[in-house]
Structure 1
Amino acid sequence: MNVRRLIPTAAVIGAVALGLTACSASGTSDSRSGDRLDVVASFYPMQFLAERIGGDHVSVTTLTKPNQEPHDLELSYRQIGGLSDAGLILYLKGIQPAVDEAIKLSESTNALDATTLTTLEDHGTEVGGEEHGHDEHAHEHEGEEAGADPHIWLDPVKYTEVAKGVGEALEKTDPDHAADYRKNTAALVKELGALDTAYRTGLKDATTRTFITTHSAFGYLAERYGLTQEGIAGIDPEAEPSPARISALHSIAEKEKVTTVFFEALASDRTAKTVARDTGLRTDVLDPLEGITGASKGDDYIEVMKSNLAALRTALGAK
């Protein structure tokens, strides 16, 4: 993963203007595709909720392609213009600057920021005088306290809160199908509740409760289930860690009986292998679920989260 690039404001303004002009010329501005409500999702966690709760009543367009690193997303004129046509826009502020800026400049009244549906927290930690495990995108999250971690979807309980909010937004936007949205929301909430139970029971007897990861995205998950996340780099999970950090991780691994260094599916495993080699640990994937690809260990959010649980159970020595 690369550090995210901010699109210059002037460029975004121009893109919004051109996009809106193009859409006006096309005459498609009724926010529906046939009988279905047009929903724009910023990236996979929002797409999953839209599809599962919206069902056959929505047509979902995702701004981020499956193999695309979401933090580095740059929007096309067509994508930006499409925001004005959407019946509902689902996004998560603080993850994708290009999306945040485009929505802000478009002055859309039908955009739902998922961070408003739950409470954000700061998951920064300090090791050896250096700050690690601190979410690398926190400083870009406007409207929240400095250090707010936006990775709420990796906590099934917080994701449930977001799911309920998305369901309510769909009911309000498309009241003709409100009953179906309520039914689909209830079914998904039940699934997420079962996932939460699986994590609670599956990790309760772990031999160690500390894990090392190249991407410090699992702060909410760690807090929810009594674990400790040790991030390697914090800003860029593909960056080489400093010798001091390697030494600190080596000490942590010995003290806490850590067995595994986790890396993510959409990024290189180079950093994880460097740390594993220098600390004598093995490597495995812990997927931050920012996109589903052919390399993902599952076809959707629920399946990949179950795969993550299995990986954590093995790494933490759960019985």
Structure 2
Amino acid sequence: MNVRRLIPATALAGAVALGATALTACSGAAAGASGGKDGKLGVTASFYPMQFLAEQIGKDHVQVDTLTKPGVEPHDLEITPKQTAQLADADVILYLKSLQPAVDKAVAQSGVKNVVDAATLTKLEAHAASGHDHGHEGEAEAEAGHDHGHEGEAGADPHVWLDPAKYAEIAKGVGAALEKADPDHAADYKKNTDDLVGKLTALDTEFKDGLTNTATKTFITTHSAFGYLAERYGLDQEGISGVDPESEPSPARMKELQEVAKKENVSTVFFETLASDKTAKSLAGDTGLKTDVLDPLEGITDKSQGADYFEVMRSNLKNLQKALGAK
């Protein structure tokens, strides 16, 4: 799938009503959903990036469960009838609509009052058709097959958490939702949200400073999940397989990437921890390039280059600096 320059999609719902709440995650908690215990607010998150927000903002006041087990590729998640039934017991659901079709369906059936779609807390962007540019290659065509587009927003890219600035916007919305759902602890949620936003702002600065002066601006990756990151920091993402990290690229695409690598002085082909590195190694072998990890942070496992969002993002920055020849 070809990478494209991110182009603004029609504005998605900008702000969520404070009466709604949402949480999504993929991490250490057992897959499932339940209301809170010991007076805690029960939050169910769909995969790791949403879970991380719930834990960082809710801290001791929340009990966070996740629908996506560690090590499971979120796009492939299937939800059991038991999980769907348990979802109805959650006090708050946090998810990212369009990323996981099975979750979208289960949330719609849950009947939970406090549901927040993280995609409505920031502006999603779409991608052009092809070429050496910012964005997710082939995202638009992939919509039909992978259901990644936001409803009514063909080509909308869901991987917003890989842009610290956009992730901070989502954090603010999640914080407001938790305040509304659990007003007794609103002051704590607000303080924790402000602390998290401050850390994300600092991370954004680290990326800006670390990627300003590089020998090349182009990186090749198996999973076209880094369109927002590329756009934010002036880089060009070239995806091998598009949004589905397991799909096989065409021979024509492999040839095109070989030409791009030569023209743009690309040194490294990136792969991710939750998917096979077979395609990355194949392209690297054909072009004499190295391979390294660029983690889309859809889940944390013992293979991840860090224990949480911030550690893995800083590992991504270090790997990008090395591959791009940062000065």
TM-score, normalising length from structure 2? 0.84
Which residue pairs with 1:36 in the alignment? 40
Q: Is the 8 A contact 2:34 2:65 kept in 1?
A: no
Equivalent position amino acid for 1:240 in 2: E
Give distance in 1, aligned partners of 2:137 and 2:300.
24
Give distance in 2, aligned partners of 1:142 and 1:148.
6
Matched, 1:275 2:264: no
- Could you tell me the percent identity over the aligned residues? 63
SS at match of 2:189: helix
Equivalent position amino acid for 2:137 in 1: G
Which residue pairs with 1:58 in the alignment? 62
Stretch moving more, 283-292 or 246-255: 246-255
Give distance in 1, aligned partners of 2:109 and 2:34.
20
Shift of 1:112: 0.5
Q: Per-residue displacement from partner, 1:22-55 (whole Å, max 9, x unpaired)?
A: xxxxxxx994311110000000000000000000
Of the three residues 89, 95, 102, the one matched with 1:98 is 102
Equivalent position amino acid for 2:278 in 1: R
Of the three residues 63, 74, 77, the one matched with 1:73 is 77
Q: Is the 8 A contact 1:138 1:147 kept in 2?
A: yes
Q: Per-residue displacement from partner, 1:56-106 (whole Å, max 9, x unpaired)?
A: 000000111111111111112221112211111000011111100111123
Cα RMSD after superposing both structures:
1.9
Which residue pairs with 2:205 in the alignment? 197
Which residue pairs with 1:3 in the alignment? none
Which 5+ residue runs of structure 2 have no aligned equivalent? 1-32
Of the three residues 141, 165, 171, the one matched with 1:163 is 171
Give distance in 2, aligned partners of 1:49 and 1:132.
25
Q: Per-residue displacement from partner, 1:282-304 (whole Å, max 9, x unpaired)?
A: 11010000000000000000100
Which 5+ residue runs of structure 1 have no aligned equivalent? 1-28
Matches within 5 A, 1:126-205: 126-127=130-131, 133-135=137-139, 138-139=143-144, 140=147, 141-205=149-213
Considering fraction of residues, name the structure with more helix.
Answer: 1
Shift of 1:127: 3.6
Of the three residues 221, 234, 259, the one matched with 1:213 is 221
Which residue pairs with 1:240 in the alignment? 248
Which residue pairs with 1:14 in the alignment? none
Give distance in 2, aligned partners of 1:299 and 1:280.
32
- Total equivalences in the alignment: 289
Equivalent position amino acid for 2:290 in 1: R
Which residue pairs with 1:108 in the alignment? 112
Of the three residues 127, 149, 162, the one matched with 1:123 is 127
Q: Is the 8 A contact 2:87 2:107 kept in 1?
A: yes
Higher relative contact order (CA 8 A, sep 6+): 2
Which residue pairs with 1:9 in the alignment? none
Shift of 1:247: 1.6
Shift of 1:314: 0.3
TM-score, normalising length from structure 1? 0.87
Q: Per-residue displacement from partner, 1:116-166 (whole Å, max 9, x unpaired)?
A: 0001111344149xx972338644234342100000000000000000000
- Pair 1:153–1:235, CA change in 2 (3 A): closer
